[in-house]
Amino acid sequence: MFFEEIIKSKVAQHFSKVFNKEIEESILTFQPTRKDFEGDITLVVFGLAQHAGKSPEETAKLIGDSILEETDIVTGYNVVKGFLNIILSNTLIINSLKSEINSLSGTNISKSPSENASAQGPVLVEYSSPNTNKPLHLGHIRNNLLGYSVSEILKANGKQVVKVNIVNDRGIHICKSMLAWQKYGNGETPESTGMKGDHLVGKYYIEFDKHYKAQIKELESKGFTRDEAEKKAGLMAEAQQMLLKWEAGDKETVSLWEKMNAWVYSGFDITYKNLGVDFDKIYYESETYLLGKSIVEEGLSKGVLFKKADGSVWIDLKAEGLDEKLLLRADGTSVYMTQDLGTAVMRYSEYKFDKLIYVVGNEQDYHFKVLFHVLKKLGYAWADKLFHLSYNMVDLPSGKMKSREGTVVDADELIDDMIAEARKLSLELGKLDDFESEEAKHLFKILGLGALKYFILKVDPEKRMLFNPNESIDFNGNTGPFIQYTHARILSVIRKATSQNEMAKFEAFNLSDYPNPQHKERELLKTLLRFKEVVQEAGERYSPALIANYSYELAKTYNQFYHDHAIVDPEHLVTSHFRLLISKYCARVIDNSMKLLGIETPERM
């Protein structure tokens, strides 16, 4: 809490004075005062009562009396059972806000970002990690938005951040799309079909699965078991043979792989741009898996790994509470773990990172436990710097998404639908007169993407979420458009005010000249003062949800203030200047907090 450090030393000092006993500040516990009690910060007294040798209520009263008598930062208190609710002076709150207004620079809350960050090495944040056999979908959207926002939050906390992506551009799943296109594609291209390249390749991933299942069904009708049919189906055998040819450098296979991957990369670039995310460095599995293979060979030579009779390479992690894990197949082809080993070593060689954060869904929890253990066992001391930011899945009202069956929510279609929904709602509410102007179209995009991003990021990463597009676009409630509208409303008030000569001078106003803010004004000031601590906590917990929900709380608090008070009153210039100044700062904090979520705030709506 913002005022905790200020009041903590006072409480320790006065406890010592009243009870003639020294205590460590670290044992003091504070919490925000509950809304149904008067106060700004609450001291939990139960533990202190033992040191004082008195009841919690008496201990709280004696501390409150002593602080109230000798300090000017407290103007009152009340005791509720073992809780001391402290009322801070308006002077302290206003002076604190003045300091915050002067110190806030963009979204960066750190006082000395670059020196510390350079000394420690950068933080690498890996996100997206797509496969080149299908387009991005709703699950990828949560991944990308989470990774991008965490990166921005860490930057705001003074970290040097490198945003990285690993493209899974090789493997059996890629060969499935390639083989299906060869067999059933009739030479289709993005140009001949008008489809985005990633969508076209994804179409043939689904085609492979459809034909593969048909083969299995036919074999089962001939008396084979399900397991036998899956192994005997010719299509899968052909895909596996194609993978072996690719790893052997077969020119025809590699040429097809390069052509189809180029289609996919072009499609990905469009989606990333529309989503508003980017990367500082992109790695490709095809460039890292060989290093991974050499690391596996090194592990064999050290006796850390072992080879089974069929030639496959494994690691035994039963002593670590895990299991045996495959690192190299019997035919010599690599698995995901192989390339992840190579990528991790390559990244540390390049960046000497202080932290590497993998933003990957929780279905890969086991994978990353194994990866980190393997690197430690191979002697890489920096393995302790690796962290898996595990997030939960996104469900739909209709159920779980399945890529192979084509039941995913396509990212491109979802973005278009959100923009269309924003246009529809704006039209219904009469928010704009000209719905076909370029400015209006840009606004619809801002609102649609703001709704999508906020709805996803307001949920803590660890929680499973249900995405319902219809609930995300609303100018009321805990939504992106509500916060965006609040920002535009504030700027509209300021524009109108500054058209009047006397009001235009509000930025030179000294907040101290308004010593007694009213209740809703005071609540707004206290909420504004929490911005830095929320950003710091979000950085420590890698949780954009803290920023999102703070943004909503701030917007809601401002709207309550706006509802109860006239911002501009020509007959009360001092009051108007005060309210305009804190309104402008509120807009600035809303804008900064939304930027940390990758959301743009419009100036007009």
Q: What is the pLDDT of residues 183-235, one digit of tens each?
A: 999 999 999 999 999 999 999 999 999 999 999 999 999 999 999 999 899 99
CB 75 within 8 A of CB 89: yes
What confidence category does residue 103 fall into, taking pLDDT thresholds of 50, 70 and 90?
confident
Question: Is residue 109 predicted with pLDDT exceeding 70?
Answer: no
Three-class DSSP category at 330: coil
What pLDDT is stored for residue 43 in this prediction?
96
- Torsional sign, CA 557, 559, 564, 570: positive
Question: Is residue 254 predicted with pLDDT exceeding 50?
Answer: yes
| Cα separation, 475 vs 469, whole angstroms | 14
In sequence order, what are the residues at sequence separation of 6 or more whose Cβ sits closer than 8 angstroms to the Cβ of residue 303?
Answer: none
Question: Is residue 592 predicted with pLDDT exceeding 60?
Answer: yes
CB 369 within 8 A of CB 322: yes
What pLDDT is stored for residue 403 in this prediction?
43
Q: Is 108 exposed, middle or buried (0-12, 13-18, 19+ CB in 10 A)?
A: middle
What confidence category does residue 331 fall into, taking pLDDT thresholds of 50, 70 and 90?
confident
pLDDT cut 90: percent of the chain above it: 80
Three-class DSSP category at 328: strand
Three-class DSSP category at 37: coil
| Cα separation, 468 vs 397, whole angstroms | 7
Q: Is 588 exposed, middle or buried (0-12, 13-18, 19+ CB in 10 A)?
A: middle
Question: Is residue 402 predicted with pLDDT exceeding 50?
Answer: no
Mean pLDDT within 441-461: 94
| Cα separation, 178 vs 225, whole angstroms | 28
CB 547 within 8 A of CB 480: no
What pLDDT is stored for residue 114 in this prediction?
47
CB 19 within 8 A of CB 66: no
pTM of the model: 0.91
Burial 415-443 (b: 16+ CB within 10 A, else e): beebbebbbebbeeeebbeeeeeeebeeb
CA contacts within 13 A on the Cβ side of 553: 17
What pLDDT is stored for residue 428 in this prediction?
80
In sequence order, what are the residues at sequence separation of 6 or more whose Cβ sits closer than 8 angstroms to the Cβ of residue 360?
Answer: 126, 129, 143, 368, 388, 389, 390, 391
What pLDDT is stored for residue 102 in this prediction?
82
Chain centroid to Cα 213, Å, comes to 38
Spell out the alpha helix ranges (H) of 436-517: 438-457, 469-472, 480-498
| Higher pLDDT pick, 469 / 597 | 597
| Cα separation, 71 vs 53, whole angstroms | 25
In sequence order, what are the residues at sequence separation of 6 or more whose Cβ sits closer than 8 angstroms to the Cβ of residue 460?
Answer: 543, 545
pLDDT in tens, 538-562: 999 999 999 999 999 999 999 999 9
In sequence order, what are the residues at sequence separation of 6 or more whose Cβ sits closer than 8 angstroms to the Cβ of residue 562?
Answer: 489, 493
| Higher pLDDT pick, 436 / 407 | 436
What one-letter code names the amino acid at 3? F
Question: Is residue 436 predicted with pLDDT exceeding 50?
Answer: yes
pLDDT in tens, 144-177: 999 999 999 999 999 999 999 999 998 899 999 9
What pLDDT is stored for residue 397 in this prediction?
72
What pLDDT is stored for residue 521 in this prediction?
96
pLDDT in tens, 131-148: 999 999 988 999 999 999
CA angle 550, 556, 558 (to 5 degrees): 105
Question: Is residue 117 predicted with pLDDT exceeding 60?
Answer: no
Select the highest-mean-pLDDT range: 26-30, 348-352, 406-410, 498-502.
348-352
pLDDT in tens, 526-535: 999 999 999 9
Task: Residue 49: name the closest of 21, 68, 70 by CA.
Answer: 21
CA contacts within 13 A on the Cβ side of 363: 5
| Cα separation, 427 vs 588, whole angstroms | 28
| Cα separation, 511 vs 545, whole angstroms | 31
565-572: long-range pairs with CB below 8 Å, 24+: 565/518, 565/520, 565/521, 567/493, 567/497, 568/493, 568/496, 568/497, 568/500, 568/503, 570/500, 570/502, 570/503
Q: For tokens 């933003």, what's the residue?
A: 359
Spell out the alpha helix ranges (H) of 157-283: 172-184, 190-193, 197-221, 226-232, 234-247, 251-275
How many of the other CB atoms lie within 10 Å of CB of 480? 31
Q: Is 495 exposed, middle or buried (0-12, 13-18, 19+ CB in 10 A)?
A: exposed
| Higher pLDDT pick, 466 / 388 | 388
pLDDT in tens, 288-298: 989 999 999 99
pLDDT in tens, 45-82: 999 999 999 999 999 999 999 999 988 899 999 999 99
What one-letter code names the amino acid at 227? D
What confidence category does residue 326 fall into, taking pLDDT thresholds of 50, 70 and 90?
very high
Q: Residue 437 has what DSSP assignment?
A: S
What phi-psi label fits residue 503: left (phi over 0), alpha (psi between -120 and 50 degrees) or beta? alpha
Question: Is residue 405 predicted with pLDDT exceeding 50?
Answer: no
What confidence category does residue 433 fall into, taking pLDDT thresholds of 50, 70 and 90?
low
Indicate the average pLDDT of the chain.
Answer: 91
What pLDDT is stored for residue 119 in this prediction?
62
CB 161 within 8 A of CB 123: yes
What pLDDT is stored for residue 110 in this prediction?
58
What pLDDT is stored for residue 426 in this prediction?
82
What pLDDT is stored for residue 398 in this prediction?
63
In sequence order, what are the residues at sequence separation of 6 or more whose Cβ sits closer than 8 angstroms to the Cβ of residue 231?
Answer: none
CB 418 within 8 A of CB 471: no
- DSSP annotation string for 77-91: EEEETTEEEEEEPHH
What pLDDT is stored for residue 432 in this prediction?
65
Question: Is residue 431 predicted with pLDDT exceeding 80?
Answer: no
CB 94 within 8 A of CB 38: no
pLDDT in tens, 411-426: 999 999 999 988 888 8
What pLDDT is stored for residue 70 in this prediction?
82
What one-letter code names the amino acid at 114? S
* Rg of the chain over all Cα atoms, to the nearest angstrom: 30
3-state percent breakdown (helix, strand, coil) of the chain, nearest 5: 60, 10, 30
